[in-house]
Amino acid sequence: MPTLGLGVAVNDECAEACKIALQNGYRMIDSARHYRNEAGVGSGVRQSGISREDIFITSKIFHNEFGYDSTLSAVNDSIKNLGFGYYDLYLIHSPRTGKANRLATYKALQEAKAAGLVRCIGVSNYSGKHIDEIIEAGYELPDVNQLELHPFCQQRPIIEYCTERNIAVQAYTPLVRGAMDHAVIQGLAKKYEKDGAQILIRWSLQKGFVPLPKSANEQRIVSNGQVYDFEIAEADMALLDALDRGADGAVTWNPVGAE
């Protein structure tokens, strides 16, 4: 799995963004059925000229399609939309709708993996208790847990849980939906001669996360990928770490507390 990906939520015309990202070094695209742009991702991949085998593509099943049979149907429809024969990663988008539905959906994803339709499976917005259900059912551990993650919402208990179990953590909304005017972020941007988005993405990388910054703007897509030529010092990482507000710092739905 690459260390950085392009998020395409709320992007009805994402083919161009995917093409630009792939032609500028990105090798991961994060989509979802709820975004209704899986076909656009496939189009962008084909336009990019980059081989499908060199790209890591993700989709997710939303809770309106949870359930064993409906999940298998959704995976097949996602593959049809993409226009290639498989996904690299397929996630359960949230823990909503209850334990029975979560487990039936996960069981179906395991079977899709065994059939070669998806290469890895995982979850999104799951807390430790939700993953405990998977373990107690005797199913394989998820490869990935995708969470809202940025300095204001660091999800520390869930991160610790995943780290202990070698579950990779992907960070969505790493740019706080553009709310980067905090004095600490701007001060570090000036210090390192980078912009605020690059500081936040670099923070995510140094925490061991896989950030998924979203943009439809060519210049921003390119600059968001230019984060491997500097390192934030330990003391400055601590300044960003100190911004954590827990769940109160979330800027999205963040349904990790679902029953």
Can 35 be counted among the known catalytic residues? yes
| Separation CA 26–CA 18 (nearest Å) | 9
Whether the model clears a pTM of 0.85, i.e. scores above it, the answer is yes
CB 117 within 8 A of CB 96: no
State the pLDDT at residue 79: 98
State the pLDDT at residue 12: 80
Binding residues for substrate: 93
Tokens 């910054």 belong to residue: 213
State the pLDDT at residue 116: 98
> Among 21, 32, 26, which residue's Cα sits nearest to residue 2?
26
Stretch (H or E) spanning 109: helix 99-114
In sequence order, which residues have a C-beta less than 8 Å from that of residue 158 and are 6 or more positions away?
126, 127, 128, 145, 147, 256
State the pLDDT at residue 11: 84
DSSP string of 44-74? HHHHHT--GGG-EEEEEE-GGG-SHHHHHHH
Q: What CATH number belongs to 6-249? A: 3.20.20.100
* Regions of the chain short of the pLDDT cut 50: none
List the catalytic residue out of 35, 90, 106, 172. 35
| Separation CA 111–CA 132 (nearest Å) | 20
State the pLDDT at residue 10: 87
Binding residues: 93
